[in-house]
Amino acid sequence: MTIRLTNSKSRTKEAFAPIDPQNVRMYVCGPTVYDRAHLGNARPAIVFDVLFRLLRHVYGEAQVTYVRNFTDVDDKINATAQARKAAGDARSLEALIAERTEETIGWYLADMGAVGVMEPTHMPRATQYIDQMIAMIEGLIAGGHAYAAEGHALFAVDSYAKYGALSGRSVDDMIAGARVEIAPYKKNPMDFVLWKPSSDDLPGWDSPWGRGRPGWHIECSAMSYELLGETFDIHGGGNDLMFPHHENEIAQSCCAHGHSGDGAGFANVWLHNEMLQVEGKKMSKSLGNFFTVRDLLDGHDGEAGVPGEVIRFVMLSTHYRKPMDWTAEKARDAEATLRKWRSMVEGVEAGVAPEAVVAALSDDLNTAGAIAELHKLAGAGDAASLKAGAALLGLLGADLGDWAAVSVDLRAYADALAALRAAAMESKDFSGVDTMKTALVEAGLEVRMSKAGVELVPGPGFDAGKLAGLL
């Protein structure tokens, strides 16, 4: 089946044709590890996890390489370590930074695992590729695309004719509208940092330009080159990264590999997911609607925790190219749907991935359309296909199922209600049936009565404690 993806570079939906079908390669910009991942950070992780699953389904698991990096050298990381030192921690700043990045990477992997994100093939850390970054910068300077000034190395934007092609901005527009650092050592206000000096109390590495550390953009260019090669298939990330991060990656990578004139090379397809809102508003601390993934999983501000599978379902219910609005109502509806589906597929062997689900995902990763197909399968009672199709979306797997486990045996309650109903059919007095049904609903159960019997399905907020005394 042909996969079609909307390429930000061409602004059109294109048939995806990998450079080598035996070696499909994708790079996605990962987190800067200075704090917990917020809910917006989870969106690209989930979106590109689904694409990873689809590519593995179409081309084979061993034929797909997915790289998602960790930025573990950054001013924000330094600031968190300096704050700990100021609070009285006697350890060296280097030790504090190492501790902070390790714990934050651990948090990130645990939180993303909780929402069903598989670990990529490679998860490089920027600090592991400093030598490669220095070598790439030296090549850019030798080629006339960068220059050294006052302990800095800067990319010369004027040397790359295609600069701005991804975001569709001219350099003049970018200078007028961007917050560019006006520095005396820059030849052009838009020139960006490849290497910058480090003071003695900050992390740094020896380089031809003095002791310092890399700029953010060169990190991804060097890591993608080392792990995926000069040219690879897909580069992804949030649309907030399109400019300047991705624009700068393209410029320095193309120039480093001899494509300064034609702009060819580097990534063939660029994918960008839209941003996330909460209850219709931009997520921000000032509005009180900012929370981390862990806040949502564990519960916050007196609210109950939301299962990771429910978070994932809500995220995937909106197409990746549309703004995603997180609401409590969507979470409740998602939980109800997943409980029903899990009750259907319990003990069922997954069948073959349904063609309609694969087709929806192959049409520009239409996860909302794929979920609509899963609803059809559930309505038709095709549990084996439902389970197989959901697996492509990372849903209904055993790894995310603990939240839906019911701690009490509901069959006894279903049998008791069935017996009351049978007696009521004889006596024509249904008051006992109504009383028990009301109690079951108040406990958070959906009561389904048919000629075949009684079925009880846990819904959102199911509380087994409210069943006490009903038998």
Query: Residue ranges for the binding site?
Result: 29, 220, 245, 249, 285
From CA 113, how far away is CA 117, in angstroms rounded? Answer: 5
Q: Using an 8 Å Cβ cutoff, are 370 and 357 in contact?
A: yes
From CA 444, how far away is CA 332, in angstroms rounded? Answer: 12
Cis-peptide into 214, omega within 30 deg:
no
4-7 and 445-450 strand pairing: unpaired
Q: Other C-beta atoms within 10 Å of 239: how many?
A: 18
From CA 323, how far away is CA 316, in angstroms rounded? Answer: 12
β-partners of residue 155 are 146, 192
Which residues are known binding-site members for Zn(2+)?
29, 220, 245, 249
From CA 394, how far away is CA 464, in angstroms rounded? Answer: 28
Amino acid at 237: G
Q: What is the DSSP letter of 444?
A: T
Judged on CB neighbours under 10 Å (0-12, 13-18, 19+), 48 is buried
> What's the distance, CA 79 to chain centroid?
25
From CA 420, how far away is CA 417, in angstroms rounded? Answer: 5
Token pair for 169: 């901005």
For 378, the 3-state DSSP assignment is helix
β-partners of residue 13 are 6
β-partners of residue 446 are 457
Which residues are known binding-site members for ATP?
285
Q: Using an 8 Å Cβ cutoff, are 393 and 338 in contact?
A: no
End-to-end CA distance of the chain: 54
From CA 194, how far away is CA 133, in angstroms rounded? Answer: 9
Q: Using an 8 Å Cβ cutoff, are 266 and 37 in contact?
A: no
Q: How many residues comprise the chain?
A: 471
> What's the distance, CA 396 to chain centroid?
18
Q: Other C-beta atoms within 10 Å of 72: how many?
A: 25
